[in-house]
Structure 1
Amino acid sequence: MTNAMPKRQDIDVQLTWNTDLIFPTQEDFKLALADYKSSVETFEKTYKGQLTDLETIVAALKHYETLAILRGKLFNYAFLPLEVDKFNTELASLANEFQLVAAIVAPLLSFLETELALLDQALLEAVIADQPQWTSYIQEIIRFKPHQLHPLQEELLASFAPTFDQPYLNYGTTKFEDMTFENFEANGQTYGNSYVLFENDYEISHDTELRRKSAASFYSTLKKYKNTTAATYLSHIKNEQIEAKLRGFQSTIDYLLFQQNVSRDLFNRQIDVIMKELAPHMRRYVKLVAKAHNLETITHADLKISLPSDYNQRITPEDSKQFLIDCLGVLGEDYVKMIERSFDERWTDFAQNEGKATGGFCATLYDGPSYILLSWTGLMNEVLVLAHELGHAGHFQLAKKQSILNYEPSLYFIEAPSTANEVLTCNTLLKQNQDPGFQAYLISELISRTYFHNMVTHLLEAAFQREVYTRLDKDEYLNGDILCQIKLDVIKEFWGEDFEIGEDAGLIWMRQPHYYLGLYPYTYSAGLTIGTAMAKQLEENPEAVVERWLETLSLGASMSAQDLAKYAGVDVSTDQPLKETIAYVGSLVDKLEELV
């Protein structure tokens, strides 16, 4: 059989991440976990009911910082190994030990922000004046005051945190532990199938029979779990709806956007403008690619392929190191050193193995590495994913200049540094090699990976989310079939009448874990809007822009997402950056039409 997935224990250790950098042994982790539980209990006894003066508040917040840093280490050590080996019962047991402690300490810690929110604003402003590193954190507490519940209610909600997290965990259990994909036949060969193989390889394969038959195999399995996955997702969004009502928000969307400090107008604009104005460019692009592949019809299984090219060669993880250093070196010596450290210290898990989570992510420890998850194919598509995740790593390594309480900016800005790296990488390569064949190949990869993934795939998820939440708040009935129909309608609206979008496309909503993280999907297009503008500025005038961009990244959450973008030189208060980004994609398609 072709492409059977290896077991985790059979993977070369050099292709795996080194979580021993967090704790050298499991015993060290367990000792730290016990210390964390004890420290939280001491924290509650010391400060609960005592936050009445500046000195005590400052002492409490400094203590809270140390607890937050330790919790980050414990959480990542407990769950990162499980992300790459989900069938390992020893690792699952270790994660469970963390969850049991987290369930105990969550209500013990809930008093802090609740009591701070009940204080006079003058005292909170005195904290800001005395400890300016917490400005954004305190301002968020002030902003949240109107939606604060009674302290006992807040404590009760915190006690239920493990239950509220359960739908996301159930989704992962269904996806990685229960789903078994049958082998399929293509071109006279038998292939194994899985989430990793399909999403990282088959779905973008230039072999039409392999791509389409793998899709039929993949979605036939998803269909069997449609109703279970729908019930899981609906329980999650109903939890969000209940909390939104409790806190006095008019809608669940308003509640989720309030958490991001983003207006409804910005959210709607991102979806509506892209659905209307980017769609014609993407339709043109996919038709161009389909013609190059001699496709008579274009199905939803064909949408993510790039142009056929002799340049589409695979490279090793080690070769990608210098490749990305050359492309991102404009960001400065310290940034290059960060990339080198990520390879030298094994921050990245490149392996493809059974039981590993799909996609890619970057998890940064406030006092440690940035762990990157990939499933390495060696294609340019995957190189751009690594550039993307290194963008997150560089961002959060720089943001450590802030207090951990002022560390993570709004989701609206989170994807800007990562997508900027993707565009910067491609723009650098386009400058270096003027060969028409290479130019066509790379432009196609840039569109099919960076812009398709962030401004089509995730944007269509955002349009799906908006419709689901709107119906939820109207108390309409939802189930698996209705969710599939909503997704299918959104996809068909974007692609129009010239594409054969089959019923299986409606199951695509089942593939995305971001639905369990609030209104996350639309922020990819928001980030890429900022990232495209920044990549252009970095390319055209690096001497004047690099320092300002790196300083912006070091500001963490000390500004709103809109203010961070403006500080970097991109004004998202208007639709101009978004329209310029869409025009840039159009210009890339124009150039492709000239080249091919």
Structure 2
Amino acid sequence: MMSETYRKDVPTEQTWDLTDLFPDKASWEKALKEIVEEADQIIAFKGKLSKNANTLLEALKTAEGYQQKVIRVAVYANLLVSADGSDPANQGAAAKSSTTLAAIGSKISFFETELLELSSSDVTQFIKDEPELETYHKYIMDILEKKEHILSPEVEETLSALGEVLDAPYNVFSRSKQSDMQFESVTDGQGNTLPMSEPLYEESYEYSEDTVLRRNAYDSFVNTFEQYKNTYAATYAAEVTKQVQLSKLRKYDSVTDMLLAPQQVTKEMYHNQLDVIQEKLATHMQKYARLLKEQLGLDALRFCDLKAPLDPSFNPNTSYEEASQTILNALDVMGSEYIEGMQKALTERWVDRAENVGKASGAFCSSPYGVHPYILVTWADKMRNAFILAHELGHAGHFYLAGKHQTLFNTRPSTYFIEAPSTLNELLLADHLMHTNQNDPRMKRWIITQLLGTYYHNFVTHLLEGAFQRKIYALAEEGTPLTADVLCREKRHVLESFWGDTVTFDDGAGLTWMRQPHYYMGLYPYTYSAGLTVSTTMAKRIREEGQPAVDDWLNVLKTGGAKRPQDLIKDAGIDMSNPKNIEIAVDYVGSLIDELADSYSE
């Protein structure tokens, strides 16, 4: 049996360099105390925000500088526990950070409440008196949009003080998955015994060409999840109940209206994204499932086989260094400023790529303003990992540029847009690989399957999460208790409705709702499909128009969050209020599947 790797044994070059945030943990502890003390700088403006333009500008600048320090402290703690959530010291740091942030949030919650006392005409006049306030115009107007849903200052302060409690469902879920879950070892097709963990399953075994290993790993995965289903159901039910009750308390028409508000997206756009893709894509993906079953020679295509490679004996290897250079070559079209950020990310330890006990599963990019982005992946020396890395580098490149060109309050766009820069990088990588391997039919087929992996991830996995989430919130608003049985039944129903009879489902498929932290992040899952819809159209523009399209895209990235999502996307030449754009993206997926099927029938 292979030994499991502990964090202390991981080579330094495979880990991220947290000294760019703080030289050591003692410095972080000092900064943690300082942000508590420095909250008084914000409190000093209490009752004065609407006094005059100069005071408001000074307050906003002070708040922005303070927020930058708070973010740095919070991100450091989060990165520690993400790299090794099994370490009690890291758990302690995360808990201390969470408690401190909740206390600070309570003290300075007045800031937003006082800004809400301003009217649009007040803001216009203040900007005339102090033109520099124009920088904060969108920030203030976004807050004013919440006006009719804000409660009394006393209640808002109380809710803020309860921040740690309100975040408990997500924290319990995350801590349990990282620290408590233990999985039985698994055997592969040759009878070898292999270690099993969630990161190993999600980053390696689920995609294995070895059907015995893939299915054994799935069974181990499901068996462990089965033991936690009632606890996780209670945890998720608490999160849903929290959101439903907050939506009532804040007088929204529905929990959906409340959760879409910060995204600045209409319900029509939200439902279009879910409905159009579910309706139009299912037929294409069922065709792919039949092709996969045929090529793998399986009597039945099980749910756990859907991510298996179409050509099991062809799984290109690549080192981290080789993949890094390939990605840089693929993204060269984006120009020097963008590439500069990419090179730094890949060579200056912005990326944590090790596999170790206690590491968070999946991949993410965290971008503390004023420092640089940090990327978490688990590297497995497969070319597929290059697509994951390119995706996270897309987030990094976005916030690298936004951070250089915007103030802190203007860096974050709506989550509706957030996955567009990341998925565009994947599409550019695929285009580059297709061009450099045009005389290799087998490699071209493999590249198409990787592209389909991107669409599967965003248009199937996350979109069906969104469909499940929509159903669960509807049930909660009707008063249906969200037990484990209800959640498993609804998840399985969503999957079966999409895949039809092309896939054989077992009870474990219904447990899929337990895998994702996204359910604790509002209406986040469906936004993956929105971002990929944008990037699909953008990649088409770049192929057809070249530099003018690239220039438009770079300007959009540099704009950060200074515009509303529809306006931001329109700057890229795309109108997301038109469902036709969604259909164009779905048709593109269909064309990839048709091309793949044709290549096997030749």
Query: Normalised by the size of structure 1, how large is the TM-score?
Result: 0.97
Could you say which residue in structure 2 is the equivalent of 1:69? 68
Could you say which residue in structure 2 is the equivalent of 1:150? 152
Give distance in 1, aligned partners of 2:369 and 2:326.
27
Q: Is the 8 Å Cα contact of residues 136 and 558 (structure 1) preserved in structure 2?
A: yes
Query: What SS is found at the alignment partner of 1:118?
Result: coil
Could you say which residue in structure 1 is the equivalent of 2:272? 269
Correspondence 1:526 to 2:530? yes
Give distance in 2, aligned partners of 1:156 and 1:365.
28
Give distance in 1, aligned partners of 2:96 and 2:487.
35
Give distance in 1, aligned partners of 2:549 and 2:49.
47
Moved more, 578-587 or 281-290: 281-290
Correspondence 1:549 to 2:553? yes
Give distance in 2, aligned partners of 1:120 and 1:341.
44
Give distance in 2, aligned partners of 1:594 and 1:509.
35
2:331 pairs with 302, 324, 328, which one? 328
Query: What SS is found at the alignment partner of 2:116?
Result: helix
Count of equivalent residues: 594
Shift of 1:98: 2.0
Could you say which residue in structure 1 is the equivalent of 2:429? 425
Matches within 5 A, 1:75-474: 75-129=74-128, 130=131, 131-187=133-189, 188-308=191-311, 311-400=314-403, 401-434=405-438, 435-447=440-452, 449-474=453-478
Structure 1 residue runs of 5 or longer lacking an equivalent are none
Q: Is the 8 Å Cα contact of residues 349 and 373 (structure 1) preserved in structure 2?
A: yes
1:538 pairs with 523, 526, 542, which one? 542
Q: Is the 8 Å Cα contact of residues 518 and 524 (structure 2) preserved in structure 1?
A: yes
Give distance in 2, aligned partners of 1:318 and 1:519.
36
Which letter does structure 2 place at the counterpart of 1:472?
A
Shift of 1:92: 2.1
Query: What SS is found at the alignment partner of 2:375?
Result: strand
Which letter does structure 2 place at the counterpart of 1:589?
I
Give distance in 1, aligned partners of 2:194 and 2:223.
15
Which letter does structure 2 place at the counterpart of 1:156?
T
Q: Is the 8 Å Cα contact of residues 47 and 60 (structure 1) preserved in structure 2?
A: no
Give distance in 2, aligned partners of 1:451 and 1:52.
51
Q: Is the 8 Å Cα contact of residues 209 and 312 (structure 2) preserved in structure 1?
A: no
Query: Normalised by the size of structure 2, how large is the TM-score?
Result: 0.97
Which letter does structure 2 place at the counterpart of 1:591?
E
Which letter does structure 2 place at the counterpart of 1:425?
L
Deviations 1:386-415 (A, max 9, x none): 100000001111112122112211110000
Moved more, 411-420 or 282-291: 282-291
Moved more, 35-44 or 464-473: 35-44
Shift of 1:176: 1.6
Shift of 1:509: 0.5
Could you say which residue in structure 2 is the equivalent of 1:31? 30
Shift of 1:438: 1.3
Could you say which residue in structure 2 is the equivalent of 1:562? 566
Query: What SS is found at the alignment partner of 1:496?
Result: helix
Correspondence 1:581 to 2:580? no
Give distance in 2, aligned partners of 1:458 and 1:153.
35
Give distance in 1, aligned partners of 2:117 and 2:284.
52
Fraction of identical pairs, as percent = 38
Shift of 1:103: 2.2
Q: Is the 8 Å Cα contact of residues 41 and 62 (structure 2) preserved in structure 1?
A: no
Query: What SS is found at the alignment partner of 1:318?
Result: helix
Structure 2 residue runs of 5 or longer lacking an equivalent are none
Which letter does structure 1 place at the counterpart of 2:348?
E
- Tell me how large the CA RMSD over aligned residues is: 1.3
Deviations 1:152-181 (A, max 9, x none): 111111111111111111001221222111
Q: Is the 8 Å Cα contact of residues 116 and 124 (structure 1) preserved in structure 2?
A: no
Which letter does structure 2 place at the counterpart of 1:38?
E
Moved more, 106-115 or 95-104: 95-104
